[in-house]
Structure 1
């Protein structure tokens, strides 16, 4: 007999519900899902609420997060809201699939993210950063939108490393397409909560559907080109083309390959770009931290241009990026749906419950971080990291479904920061930082314009 069933009589099956207005929650979700978080989740270990008849449990306690996402991973699925919001673009790729289909896809691409493979990609990362640096130096003392610039840089890297150049993909249209797709996701979450029919129109739906069509057709052309003119590059496209399920022997069809390329392009470049944009903004507002970064870059490089052998030496620079992602986690919320009853702490969580790990709240939680709103890269020193619970910091998620590209993203970000900061200082145009809003990812509520100052 299942141990959960055996213990059911001793577990709590009634929940201390936090009042939450359904209408208020829906309006907040449409505007900015972060505003729909119960305020108490920033100070309490967990919160239960019920919205539109649906039981939700919000988790901020690292021990409970580990218990849910790791120990009970098999009891949780992505859920209908994730499918409604991301399925049209990502299909059944690595981010959205469940069960055996997720597992064999994950195994198929894992080799691309081994440490030795990532080291081989460092020169490509540095070269992309140098192209951005040279473009900025050509502008001189002008102003740039740092978010757009980081999107362009990280997209350059993902296309070169994962698709061997991408066969002329229109970078500007891809960036706009991703934004058009993500912009109305608050509506899809809200309508999903109401269990509304999926055909219901909402603001931005037409643009989002057109964006998905463009993005998927662009990637399909890459696959078709590769099938006609195969090569021996060890990139993601070839890995997906040759991947097979070890149990059934089945291979991916073109639509499934598109699902995964879409996943890596959207999740693999946009999240890193957002983390970098927030990092540059934070550095501009904390010159004492920027000075420490510059001293480290100079010590590591000896004044020479940044190259692959320097990146691993930039420990403090990596701490800066980590702290930026604590304050502004690019993926600010994890949601799961209970596929069956399971035990969580002292409670028996019933099937159908929506489990929410509000990473943004965990990263700002008063019991987990001292002065949580303060930008302090020293939180991520090697010594400090030893005393922190593993699940108090989760910019890449947690458990078996932790982001497969986390090491890629950090290596890429440190290389970009070093190459650009060595020659250029960015100064914030607006005296006040942008407000973070959630459109699946954590975006600023306005363009982050910054002035370029050559060093």
Structure 2
């Protein structure tokens, strides 16, 4: 095992450990994994913690994050925690696979996310947002469940753009299924921490299992129908059907195609919807910011309907969405497991160590952001962004495994905000904002009702 680096500075192989009660950590993880983060990681660059006899490394320093996730990407794998939590639904898809299997799958779908392809998809995004807006206008002023509305809208977009239509998939059942699957993930993380057998029952396990079966069977029927009646549509389904490993020449099985469709449907529409949910709540609580967004939309459109040409011009609206994802990152934690020993700063990280990049803590870190709890879209002006380290802000992850759909998600979110806010405003009902709770993604702790106000 190496003990020194090139400049002859000795690497540290013992770590300054922050003790964590195993029982306390388990309880926190079940309730809300954010509460299990060591409080010091909101102020310190890195923290070593020992829980259930295992050392975990928490990284909040952008330089160390870059060193781990980019420079040492080949030394890290997704690890057992991710497999236990997401594997039953996502199998060995793009989000959960490692190594060569991950690489060829990513290459297979990369074409769906080229800039020119995304530009082609903008009208579809706008049309989906218009359907939501028209439904709201027909119902008039009243209370809406913004969570349900955004999940429905982004699901509509992901199905239309990636699967060329819903093929009879029931939107309501899919939304319920994803929630049923994610709700008990705190239990899977907690049981994984103590290496409990995977067959151990826990609250919500039965519902989660049934939800996964429903979701996967629904997508399998789409694949079977497409195989029976092939066509030349240039969508994600056909890309996956025609994909082949450049080294072995093998194609994807139906199960592997379902793995990837599940990944894009759950991760793709869920995270964007959550970013929008938090954005609408923040706008409702910051009228001065909302006024600037409305003014920008009105100035660019001059009262006419939003078009694809308008979306890139909505600079401030995009800043607002970016800041909302800083305050409430939809994917709040990244975990990796060291596949081999590697150097991280002045430390030697042994194989098997779990590394945690708590994006939520990075986005609220006292040394990285001035007044981190303040909602300030000005942080994302071009000047401010240039002055900031690339890995101080990472709502879509980092390194080779950065979210392949990040540009799609931002384009989609800005289009939805523009179409809806051109005609309506949303007002908060509760005096205090909801508490963020991690269920793999960062969700409000309760249904978020908002009052619809026509403009």
TM-score, normalised on structure 2? 0.99
Is 1:180 the counterpart of 2:180? The answer is yes
Find the aligned partners of 1:250 and 1:438 in 2 and give their Cα distance.
Answer: 37
- Between the two proteins, the alignment pairs up a number of residues equal to 455
CA deviation profile, 1:209-236 (whole Å, cap 9, x unmatched): 0000000000000000000111111100
Match of 2:394 in 1: 394
Note if contact 1:4-1:341 (Cα within 8 Å) is conserved in structure 2. no
CA deviation profile, 1:168-209 (whole Å, cap 9, x unmatched): 100000000000000000000000010010000000000000
Find the aligned partners of 1:300 and 1:238 in 2 and give their Cα distance.
Answer: 37
| DSSP-derived class of the 2:336 partner | strand
Find the aligned partners of 1:35 and 1:168 in 2 and give their Cα distance.
Answer: 40
Match of 2:448 in 1: 448
Offset of residue 7 of structure 1: 8.1
Offset of residue 8 of structure 1: 9.3
Match of 2:408 in 1: 408
CA deviation profile, 1:67-120 (whole Å, cap 9, x unmatched): 000000000000000000000000000000000000000000000000000000
Where do 1:77-116 residues align within 5 Å?
77-116=77-116
Match of 2:122 in 1: 122
Where do 1:8-407 residues align within 5 Å?
10-407=10-407
| DSSP-derived class of the 2:208 partner | helix
Find the aligned partners of 1:133 and 1:60 in 2 and give their Cα distance.
Answer: 40
Offset of residue 4 of structure 1: 6.9
Find the aligned partners of 2:104 and 2:37 in 1 and give their Cα distance.
Answer: 34
| DSSP-derived class of the 1:312 partner | helix
CA deviation profile, 1:13-64 (whole Å, cap 9, x unmatched): 0000011111100100000000000000000000001111111000000000
Note if contact 2:4-2:10 (Cα within 8 Å) is conserved in structure 1. no
Find the aligned partners of 1:263 and 1:2 in 2 and give their Cα distance.
Answer: 38
Superposition CA RMSD, Å:
1.3
Offset of residue 436 of structure 1: 0.1
The list of structure 1 runs, each at least 4 consecutive aligned residues, that deviate by more than 3 angstroms after superposition, is: 1-9
TM-score, normalised on structure 1? 0.99
Offset of residue 166 of structure 1: 2.4
Find the aligned partners of 2:383 and 2:441 in 1 and give their Cα distance.
Answer: 30
Distance 1:340 1:382, change over 3 A: same
Distance 1:228 1:388, change over 3 A: same
Note if contact 1:271-1:330 (Cα within 8 Å) is conserved in structure 2. yes
Find the aligned partners of 2:63 and 2:276 in 1 and give their Cα distance.
Answer: 29
